A and B are shown apart, each in its own frame.
Chain A
């Protein structure tokens, strides 16, 4: 049993598919930024929060100075040439035990985060999955026995599955340090992994944005 020591929110990326000219986590959904929503659900369940910044870092730093003075901002000046996994690993510096890694463009229901953080205590690594719904999903192949706890056996972009990779994972601080490309690729050698369901919505494309607006009304 090892409780989650801290959360690392990766918010350094360009968010180029939305073409907003600002980090995706600074998007306001119903008057509150995605980042503020994420911090609000996390701070009730994890002792410390690290936010990794890069692209237009001044926007996020100012936002945290005004509204979230208790978070640690970790700078990744190499954000243009490094991937999300590198940002996450950089963000986990100063955390020694179990870390919850999340993308900064997620809207998550508090109940499912609470459940995930509780379950994360029980295994070295816990993989977050969600019901498949996004346009460019990375599907997760899961064990089909409904009597057993959910287990992830593989990732696929081609074969549609009921679940997709949620861009949330709990594990040791160096969990994704070896990833050359996408975060989930660092997890492939560790499969099969225990998984837990998250009720969330990711914002990658303009159509995700519309979905996100209706999602926040449901949580």
Chain B
């Protein structure tokens, strides 16, 4: 049976969270940290949080955002695993296509993300990704498929729960309790994760 691997981006493939990096350049690191924390804990919905983040970071010129994102380090073992299996791997991120495009293109796999457009005055959120829906769509597209999902936050819960095998990953920070509860495995290291993925 074919196995597909769905990876969260922020704090899973990247070794830091993407948006807080941009926020620190703008001098709003504390505000973004609070927003990230309450989102990870599920205290506000991911959609509400994304709208707020869009409003805050949408003011930064897109070129500047791209150059900051391009410098964000990736977990070497996970990035290598994805590059070796580009047909079986997917990046599944609530982050915006307009921001993360150049970053995920380095990995060579397909991406599911939230979507935004530049309006006349500001960045406009047009679609918020439901990660659980991605799993259902992938399952619908191929008959016999086994799906492994890897993530760390509250918005990964529907993906971890819908996958055949859910892995809560704590490479950057501990996975949120909700992500752990939805997972079969908890792993804290990229190499250990990839060895497990190869063995499953």
Verify A72–B185 contact, CB threshold 8 A: yes
Contact of B177 among A58, A74, A93 (CB under 8 A): A58
Q: Is the CB of B174 within 8 A of A70?
A: no
Task: Tell me the residues in window 73-114 of chain A with beta carbons closer than 8 Å to chain B beta carbons.
Answer: 73-75, 77, 93-96
Chain B residues numbered 143-199 whose CB sits less than 8 Å from any CB in chain A: 170, 174, 177, 180-181, 183-189, 191-192, 195-196, 199
Chain B residues in the interface with A (C-beta under 8 A): 170, 174, 177, 180-181, 183-189, 191-192, 195-196, 199-200
Q: How many Å from the CB of B171 to the closest CB on chain A?
A: 9
Contact, CB under 8 Å: A73 / B187 = yes
How distant is the Cα of A104 from the Cα of B195 in the complex, in angstroms? Answer: 23
In the bound complex, residues from chain A placing their C-beta under 8 Å from that of B196 are 72, 94
Query: Which residues of chain A come closer than 8 Å to B187, judged between CB atoms?
Result: 72-73
Task: Report how many A-B pairs have Cβ atoms within 8 Å.
Answer: 46
A87 CB → nearest B CB, Å: 13
**Cross-interface CB contact of B185 among A62, A69, A74, cutoff 8 Å:** A74
Residues A95 and B188 in contact, CB atoms below 8 Å apart:
no
Nearest 5 CB-CB pairs, A to B? A73-B186, A69-B188, A69-B189, A94-B199, A94-B200
A64 engages B184 (CB within 8 Å):
no
A216 lies within 8 A of chain B by Cβ: no
| CB-nearest residue of chain A to B198 | A94
Q: B170 — which chain A residues lie within 8 A by C-beta?
A: 65
Given contacts A64-B186, A65-B188, A69-B188, 12 further A-B contacts (CB under 8 A): A48-B199, A53-B186, A57-B180, A61-B186, A69-B189, A70-B189, A72-B185, A75-B184, A75-B186, A93-B200, A94-B185, A94-B200
